[in-house]
Chain A
Amino acid sequence: MTASQAYPLRVVLYEGEGALPLDQGTRSVVLAALLDKGYATTVAGKGAIVRDNDVERLLVIGSFTAGNTPGLKDAEGKIEILTRDITGMDEVRVLETVESARNGRAMNQPGSWKPWFPVIDYDRCTNCMQCLSFCLFDVYGVDSDDKIQVQNNDNCKTNCPACSRVCPEVAIMFPKYSGGPINGEPVNNSDLEREKMKVDISSLLGGDIYSRLRERSEGAKSRFSKERDSDKALGERKKCLTKLAAQGDIPMEVLASLPSPEEIAIKVEEAGRKAKEALAKSKH
């Protein structure tokens, strides 16, 4: 699913001069409620400075003394500053106030999308390009120095850590994954040994998955057109995919959404060509 790139509002919970501090309990409950809805919030007490012009719109909330909600303006005119008095409000009402100040502008919110994408540990990565050759969804690419890069986060299939399992250096992390070292835990020698013996996804299809698929795709036209036995073909595919899912920790829906063998063959050739070119250039 595509992430919204917009971030419409940064909230400041202001407790400095001209405002009364919330009591401790209310402060943490209000803050947790805002964060759980996706709102980054700065808790600003006396003397706090809001650093950097990193947003276009700032919402300052606080328990302003005598209901005196200040009118604030950015001296440089770059940031729109809104203020709201939250005196006596519980977290539900604070949240309503913030939502109404957002005024329907798009933003990501927890529950609607999961930030799932590979993160490369360049202290470990050797630029071998296996991930680029492996991924069928164009998540990886190379930068202008032919260094491997995650280029299309949004193409990554949620909950699928398959590419981390083909990386010989255990350099690919998914921070939202449950177990280590994929989740970013330190990599130790036994992890490396284990990763060497990890499920060799290609071997599950009796050899190199891609050359097998290529072979299949070359013979596919005649075979599939002759057989037209879609049930059999589907059954075969499903058997392979179930085996992959069970041993490779790959969600079935990801495998089920793999492109057709023909499409895979084309993608593999493209990815292989890109990887080869990048490797050849980086050796010069």
Chain B
Amino acid sequence: MSKSPGIVYCRCAYAQVVADEVKDGVIKGLCASGRSFDAVSDLCEMSARKDPRLGAIARQDNVRIAACHPRAVKWLFHAAGVPLDDARTEIVNMREENAATATAKLLEDDDC
């Protein structure tokens, strides 16, 4: 049995392309869940600086990432030299989903 997926939340703080109500709603939902999770200020900024933390995220057994369009997130990791493994990664699109749906997808209890 694999353990629950790690959760990474992107705040998109450097240029807010994710609506405030969605990102605020998701952070509240995660904080209310009592789950441990990682929150980053901005994945784009980390990719620009090739932050080693991206590698640590990409190496997780399975991970759910709350950010924006999956195609952008996938290639941002690749640009930083640490490609995500599609089979172990689920990207929740906060540019498209509302806060409740995005939070539910992140906290869904099955293994990814």
* CA A114 to CA B52, docked complex, whole Å: 20
Q: Which of A1-52 contact B (CB under 8 A)?
A: 3-5, 7, 10, 21, 24, 27-28, 31-32, 35-45, 47-48, 51-52
Q: If the complex has contacts A51-B60, A119-B76, are A110 and B39 also in contact, measured as CB distance less than 8 A?
A: no
* CA A122 to CA B44, docked complex, whole Å: 18
Residues of A close to B42: CB separation below 8 A: 38, 110, 115
B73, CB-defined interface residue at 8 Å? yes
Residues of A close to B34: CB separation below 8 A: 21, 45
B15, CB-defined interface residue at 8 Å? yes
A-contact bits for B43-79, CB 8 A (1 contact / 0 none): 0111111011101100110000000111111011011
- Give the number of chain B interface residues (Cβ < 8 Å): 45
Point out the residue from B31, B70, B79 that lies within 8 Å of A24, measured CB to CB.
B31
A206, CB-defined interface residue at 8 Å? no
B38, CB-defined interface residue at 8 Å? yes
* CA A240 to CA B60, docked complex, whole Å: 51
In the complex, the chain A residue whose C-beta lies closest to that of B59 is A52
Residues of A close to B76: CB separation below 8 A: 119, 175
A117, CB-defined interface residue at 8 Å? yes
CB-based contact B48/A117 at 8 Å: yes
CB-based contact B47/A115 at 8 Å: yes
Q: If the complex has contacts A3-B45, A55-B53, are A121 and B11 also in contact, measured as CB distance less than 8 A?
A: no
A251, CB-defined interface residue at 8 Å? no
* CA A119 to CA B72, docked complex, whole Å: 7
Binding site for B on A (CB under 8 A): 3-5, 7, 10, 21, 24, 27-28, 31-32, 35-45, 47-48, 51-52, 54-55, 108, 110, 113-117, 119-122, 150, 153, 173, 175-178, 180, 183-186
